Amino acid sequence: MSKIKTIGILTSGGDAPGMNAAIRAITRAGIYNGFTIKGIYRGYEGLIHDEVKTLTTEDVSGIITRGGTILKTARSMEFMTPEGMQKAYETCQKEEIDALVVIGGNGSLTGARNFGMEFNFPVVGLPGTIDNDVNGTDDTIGYDTTMNTIMQCVDRIRDTANSHERIFFVEVMGRDAGFLAQYSAIACGAEAAIIPEEMTEVDQLKEFLTRGIRKSKKSCIVIVSESPKCGALYYADRVKNEFPEFDVRVSILGHLQRGGSPTARDRVLASWMGCAAIEALKTGQRNVMIGYRNGEAVLVPFEYCIRTEEKRVDKTMIKVLNELSI
């Protein structure tokens, strides 16, 4: 039988659509199962500085439709120090918080792992990131909404690309993971995707240009994963220099990808994971992330989901885009 009476919730790192649905689910499932639920504002920074409030079912009413996070979020350098973690633990003691549910990506789950190990403290994580780059789960909270946002934007950009016979390089988020670029390219009917997983293997721009555009197409869309060195601007400049006959434009979607009301899929996924987090704590689980694999809930040890080996795009999807973009 669990000795946990009070559970704290925090959101950390980049915001993702569906985080509010997860907060709502954790709060209501927790109260339903007899726990007191406390919201921790501004992530680990708020945990250090005791920005804590008891949540009621009314506090989370109506938030399932909203993007972002009502608990706010922040990146905390102080939490990465032993002194910062000690302050956070003292807040848990003061607020009588017996366990934490942390919603965030790789960095947030790393912090959850470290905190749980340092103080032998029960922590359960939910994968909340638009990048879908967390190991141990097929999908992350926010990924589906962001995919749909990118698709809607690119559908509009294509109208202009066709009208002016232009090549558009559209830059999307994802950092070191190409999930958003690869899968949105297929969904949008784009002619190519340039992703980190392929950058060391082939000259993706040259491959794309020689595959058929010069023969058959005067307008096209290329989705590019953001990168400090090889983003959309880099590839657009290359085309201008190497293939000056083409009219080239760049559209960097930026932070509009993070916002907006979550899709039905993200709302269901976040709600389901939130309830699973409460169930995990009820049964004595700790230092695990709630994952989604093949339609089932799985408990993934933090050590696995934050391992250095990166989650990779399925290369069969690269083949699919290549075949469909002729």
Is residue 75 within 8 A of residue 13, CB to CB? The reply is: yes
Low-confidence residues of the chain: pLDDT under 50: 1, 200
Q: What is the 3-state secondary structure (H, E, C) of the chain?
A: CCCCCEEEEEECCCCCCCHHHHHHHHHHHHHHCCCEEEEECCHHHHHHCCCEEECCCCCCCCHHHCCCCCCCCCCCCHHHCHHHHHHHHHHHHHCCCCEEEEEECHHHHHHHHHHHHHHCCCEEEEEECCCCCCCCCCCCECHHHHHHHHHHHHHHHHHHHHHHCCEEEEEECCCCCCHHHHHHHHHHCCCEEECHHHCCCCCHHHHHHHHHHHHHCCCEEEEEECCCCCCHHHHHHHHHHHCCCCCEEEEECHHHHCCCCCCHHHHHHHHHHHHHHHHHHHCCCCCEEEEEECCEEEEEEHHHHCCCCCCCCCHHHHHHHHHHCC
pLDDT at residue 197, as a whole number: 78
pLDDT score for 323: 87
Question: Among all residues, which ones are annotated catalytic?
Answer: 131
Could you tell me which of 170, 172, 148 has the C-alpha nearest to residue 254? 172
Q: What is the pLDDT of residue 228?
A: 74
pLDDT of residue 216: 54
Q: What is the reported pTM?
A: 0.93
Tell me the per-residue pLDDT of 255-286, one tens digit each, with 9 for 90 and over. 999 999 999 999 999 999 999 999 999 999 99
